[in-house]
Amino acid sequence: MVIRCCFVTAELAPLVKAGGLADAAGALAGALHSRGVDLRVFVPMYAELDRSTLSLEPEPGLADLELSLGRHRYRYSFVRARRAAGPDLLLVDCPELYGRPGVYGDAEDEHHRFALLCHAALEACVRTGFAPQVVHCHDWHTALLPTLLRQRYGRAPELAGARSLLTVHNLGYQGWLPASVASELGLPEGAVETAGLAADRINLLRQGLRDADAVSTVSPTYAKEICSPELGMGLDEVLRARGDEVAGILNGVDYSTWDPATDPHLPHRFSAADLSGKARMRAALCDLLGLQDAPGRLLIGIVSRLVWQKGVDLLEGALEEPLADGRIAFAALGAGEPANEALLESLARRFPGRAAFRRGYNERLAHWIEAGADAFLMPSRYEPCGLNQMYSLRYGTVPLVRRTGGLADSVRHFDPATGEGTGIVFNDADPAAVRWAVETAAAWHQDHSLWSRIVANGMREDFSWDRAVEEYLQLYRQIAERA
């Protein structure tokens, strides 16, 4: 059976990226396409979408359409984007909503940007006679799709058999809106519920979790965690109330982008068979960041959005002593909450030559840190999947991770007695636990053969999308059978 899927996402690597959603959606769409799924991939035509590798042409029959959201009337069209590899994209072109800087914003019409994306995708299916069995949406931005299908578009013959799958990449972002804008989502009155006890607000993710035919998330452990009050972020009850289980499918890694043997960002490439390029990358990274290149010193890297989720504040009190006595060096890249940026800036200021922080978003430096660091630190409070720990494994960079979500599912704590394991896994979200992990790594790093063993174990791991895409296909088939 050929599966037809309408795939709708707010981000898609490599064209437009704010975080891991882009990596996951971009690679999954590519993997589904190569497995023969008949896909229509919808993405907003943001001003900052990287057009350099695309060949663009207007999509016939899908020009100059109109959508009313409350008293706002929008005109939009579709542009087909052909790429050298991967499925074509259908870009939703609405300059009034997408012709501004940034993927996300805080303007008053932010909800219109994503409501329009959802309407546009279903409208395009109807107008082109495309009848998907699966409508696959991701996170709060597209969580309105299940409700739109049930309440507005499901009567169209093209969509009568369509079933929705909502994949949660991060339960921490829910799309809270004042109840007064419920009438601006293009749905019949009463279709969108106020959010439980918060009678004056609506919550788009909650709405999607109630109305979707199936729900999945991006790791088996996170699938369990979000059904508990501790990590359910107020939505655990809604998840438990569903008749079915939340499927947990660990994201894969796009090794065509993240492989040190072929990575075009790196001046020195390497593989498990020959790590000399990694030593040269370490030296190049130290040079770039103004760090002393002392090979006996453990160089720890971080590349992260600097938000509460990522636990960067837990570094305070964990790194100072090993930095001061020269056991570790530290290279961080990221942007986010001012307090986290200030903490990293202060480490760089207090430990010149040993700690460096680059504020901002920098794709190339992210690859350099993965390649040049000895270890990679992810002290996340919660982590639906996390990608950098899997990139680190392939780059011979030992991950130091908290035992949560996808980190717990992808890194095995190393046991010196058996020589098994791929990283260092700690339990608590506090500076003492981070310090324990850092000091354990620094001590193990002194033992060359032990460290080489951890590195080799990690580089052998295979998190390619081949496995994950099979699990999605199985889920798609199950969903399609319900139609």
Stretch that binds ligand ADP, among 63-71, 360-368, 417-425, 441-449 (CB under 6 A): 360-368
396 versus 405: smaller Cβ distance to ligand GLC: 405
Which residues are at the interface with ligand GLC (CB under 6 A)? 19-21, 24, 169-170, 218, 251, 383-387, 406
Residue from 90, 303, 343, 468 binding ligand ADP (CB under 6 A) = 303
Residue 303 binds which of ligand ADP, ligand GLC, none (CB < 5-8 A, kind-dependent): ligand ADP
CB of 170 to ligand ADP, least distance (A): 6
Let me know: does 281 contact 270? Beta carbons within 8 Å.
yes
CB of 407 to ligand GLC, least distance (A): 9
CB of 468 to ligand GLC, least distance (A): 11
405 versus 421: smaller Cβ distance to ligand GLC: 405
Cα–Cα dist 251/381, whole Å: 19
CB of 346 to ligand ADP, least distance (A): 18
172 versus 234: smaller Cβ distance to ligand ADP: 172
Cα 382 to Cα 172, 274, 287, distances in angstroms: 9, 35, 33
Residue 218 binds which of ligand ADP, ligand GLC, none (CB < 5-8 A, kind-dependent): ligand GLC
Cα–Cα dist 343/71, whole Å: 46
Q: Exposure string (b/e) for 418-456, b if CB count within 10 Å is 16 or more?
A: eeebbbbbbeebebebbbbbbbebbebbeeeeebebbbe
Binding to ligand ADP, residues 2-21 (CB under 6 A):
19-21
Nearest to 50 by CA among 12, 98, 92, 104: 12
Phi (first) and psi of residue 124, to 5 degrees: -65, -40
Using the rule CB under 6 A, is 398 a contact of ligand ADP?
A: no
Let me know the angle formed at the C-alpha of 272 by 266 and 277, rounded to the nearest 5 degrees.
35
32 versus 62: smaller Cβ distance to ligand GLC: 32
130 versus 361: smaller Cβ distance to ligand ADP: 361
Using the rule CB under 6 A, is 362 a contact of ligand ADP?
A: yes
- What 8-state DSSP symbol labels residue 434? H
Label residue 361 left, alpha or beta by phi (over 0 means left) and psi (-120 to 50 means alpha).
Answer: beta
Going 27 to 31 to 161 to 59, the CA torsion angle's sign is positive
CB of 383 to ligand GLC, least distance (A): 5
147 versus 380: smaller Cβ distance to ligand ADP: 380
Residue ranges in contact with ligand ADP by CB under 6 A: 19-21, 23, 303-305, 333-335, 361-363, 366, 385-388
